[in-house]
Amino acid sequence: MIAVYIVIGVVVLVALALIVSRNRFVSQRQLIRSSWANIDTELRRRYDLIPNLMETVKGYASHEREVFEEVTRARSAAMAATGSPAQQAQAEQPLVAALGRLFAVAENYPQLRATENFQQLQAELANTEDRLQTARRFYNNNVQDYNRRVQAFPSNTVASMFGFKEEEFFHVDEALREAGAPRVEFGAEAPAVQFMGSGPSTSQAPPQGQAPTPPPPQNPGGSDSFQG
C-alpha cells in the first residue's frame, strides 16, 4: 500500500513539474512577443521621422535626387518587411545605409545643419535609435533565456512535448553596428552629425572670444557615400 502511495506521489510531482515548466515557457514566449512589439514601435517611429527629415534636406539640396530616392525605396522596403526578426533586421540594413548618405549630404550645408527644424529632427532620430537599441537588447536577452530552456535538459523534454521551438534573435550585421545611432554634436553655431564608425567629426567649437572659422568650401553638387 505504501508503494502505491509513493507511485502516486511521484506521478503527482512529475505532473506538477510539467505544468510549472509549461507555464514558464508560455510566460517567456509572451514576454518575447511583448519585447518584439517594443522594437516594432521604435522602428515605426523612425519611419515616421524620415519623410520630415528628407523634406528639410530637400530645401537646401533638392538636386540630390538619387539620395532621396534611395532613402524612399529603403524606407518602403523596411516598412513592408513583415517576416521573422532576422528578415526584419536584414531589411533595416539598406535603410540605415541610405540614412548615412542623407546625413553625409547634409554635412555639405552648414546653413541646413544650423536650422532649428533640422536640429530637432536629428535629436528625435538619435533618441529613437537609443530606444531601439535598448529594446533590441531586451528582446535578445529574453530570446536567449527562452532558447536556453528549449535546448537544456529536462526542460527540452517539456518543450518538445508542447511544441515550444527556438525563437530568432534580432541581430544586425557589422555595417549596422558600426553605423549605430546618429550622434548630434552641437558646436558654436551649427551642429555636426555623424554615424558611429564613420570617423571623427571635423566640426569643432572655436576658442572662447574668437569668431568661428568658416567651413572649407564643399562641392554642393556631389553625393558623398556613407562608409558604414
Lowest model confidence (mean pLDDT) among 22-26, 131-135, 170-174: 170-174
Looking at per-residue confidence, does 172 or 223 come out higher?
172
pLDDT at 126: 86
CA-to-CA separations, 180 to 122, 166, 210, in angstroms, rounded: 14, 27, 34
pLDDT exceeds 90 at position 207: no
Looking at per-residue confidence, does 215 or 141 come out higher?
141
Q: Quick one: average pLDDT of 60-73?
A: 90
Q: For the domain bounded by 2-195, which CATH number is listed?
A: 1.20.1440.20
- Residue 112: what residue type? L
C-alpha 101: how far from its chain's center? 17
Grid cell at residue 25: 515557457
pLDDT band at 141 (very low <50, low <70, confident <90, very high): very high
pLDDT exceeds 90 at position 60: no
CA-to-CA separations, 175 to 57, 115, 136, 154, 195, in angstroms, rounded: 24, 29, 16, 39, 11
Domain spans of the chain, in order of start: 2-195
Grid cell at residue 161: 512535448
Q: Which residues contact 124 (CB under 8 A, 6 or more apart)?
A: 49
